[in-house]
Amino acid sequence: MRKVKIVISVLLIAVFVALNGSCLVARELNADSVFRIKMKNSDELYPAWSADGTRLVFQSNRYGNNDIFLYDFLKDTVLRLTNGKADEQHPVFMPESNSVAFDSRIGNKVYLFKIDTVTGRKDVLFTRKLFCEAPSFSPSGRLVVFKGYDRNSETWQIFSYDFVYDNLNRLTHYTGKKVSAPVFSPNGKVILFGLQDKEPPYKRSMEEINWYGERVCHLDSVQGSSYCWSDAGFRIIYSDKQPDSVFRLLSVRSDGTSTYILLDDRFPKFSPALSPDGSKLAVAVKFENDFDIVIIKVTDE
């Protein structure tokens, strides 16, 4: 078994960790020695990588409401993609496209949109009278899964939309639980999302289903508040908070076994995102009053 460790470097945290299996010694983040995407007096959240790993989209409330921004690693530049009165959140690159999908909210109305990062053209993602948020795409781009509001049951559920057949499907039917943002696995066969009981003590768990809505695995002991897949799809990276105000970033096998602690410190962590090649991890970290995007370099020893 390979040894695994975290080393604090000048600009990056070098994490020697096999996300598909190894032991780990947890370490703390150092606010003064990590690469941070930060804008003054604002929260930067929900990072998502481009397919080639050279760009990162995220949301920020730098100008009041949330807008979508794009960071280019090669140019070291930040581009503001959206500019309006709506709260625009949960950005994600669309497969084989220059476009970024996101949800746009005004009041209690929220719909999915896309914007071309080259031309700046903004359009609806699909046409349905359904409140929806937090999109995630299959690798081919044919399917998108998201949280949608079912008016009949007055609950948020997981839905999918097929762009080829213009087909909308409701995948879940929960009554006593809240669902959180769904995420397609790298092979497009499994959809991961969080659950939380609506009644005290508000227990969290995670669920994996296929694109028909059939359960693949229920992770009862995994209480992640935000999460992503490893590049190979065998493991899940997620964040949680301990009762003593310790915030952790963990890795667990997709069947809920073999949990490793990646980071274990006092800094709140949210919305991890692993680059497509598995070499870098982006995560929102709250060092002082605001969340910044931190880039963690992932290497194998």
Q: What are the residues whose beta carbons fall under 8 Å from the beta carbon of 112, sequence distance 6 or more?
A: 101, 102, 103, 104, 124, 125, 126, 132, 133, 135, 144, 146
- Give the mean pLDDT of 52-62: 97
pLDDT of residue 299: 61
Neighbours of 220 (CB within 10 A): 13
- Residue 4 predicted with pLDDT over 60: no
Pairing of strands 55-63, 109-116: unpaired
pLDDT of residue 245: 82
Whole-number mean pLDDT of the chain?
Answer: 89
Residue 249 phi, psi (nearest 5): -120, 125
Tokens standing for residue 266: 């006092």
pLDDT digits (tens, 9 = 90+) for 254-276: 999 999 999 999 999 999 999 99
Of 156, 159, 131, 129, residue with least CA distance to 144: 159
**Per-residue pLDDT for 170 more than 50?**
yes
Taking residues 2-23, what's their average pLDDT? 35
pLDDT, position 27? 62
Distance between CA atoms of residues 103 and 114, nearest Å: 8
Over 50: is that where the pLDDT of 13 sits?
no
Note the pLDDT tens digit of each residue in 175-185: 999 999 999 99
- Distance (Å) of CA 177 to CA 6, 182, 223, 233: 36, 15, 14, 26
Token code pair at residue 286: 């709250």
CA distances to 40, 135, 151, 294, 300 from 34, rounded to whole Å, are 17, 29, 45, 7, 19
Look at residue 52 in the predicted model and tell me its pLDDT: 95
Rounded mean pLDDT of 10-36?
Answer: 52
Give me the mean pLDDT over the 125-138 stretch: 97
H or E segment and range at residue 44: strand 44-49
* pLDDT value at 2 more than 50: no
Neighbours of 92 (CB within 10 A): 23
Cα end-to-end span (Å), the chain:
11
CA distance 99 to 129: 22
pLDDT-based confidence at 39, cuts 50/70/90?
confident
Lowest mean pLDDT among 18-22, 199-203, 292-296: 18-22
Q: What percent of the chain shows pLDDT beyond 90?
A: 80
Q: 245 is written with which tokens? A: 């105000």
Residue 32: the pLDDT is 67
Provide the pLDDT for residue 7: 28
CA gap 125, 112 in Å, rounded = 6
- Identify any residues that bridge with 99 across adjacent strands, giving them in sequence order: 116
Residue 12 has pLDDT above 90, yes or no: no
**What pLDDT is recorded for position 288?**
86
Report the sign of the C-alpha dihedral through residues 46, 114, 69, 296, in that order: positive
Rounded Cα distance, 13 and 4, in Å = 13
Listed in order, strand segments (DSSP E) in 97-246 are: 99-106, 109-116, 122-124, 132-137, 143-150, 155-162, 167-170, 177-179, 183-184, 191-197, 204-209, 215-219, 226-229, 235-241
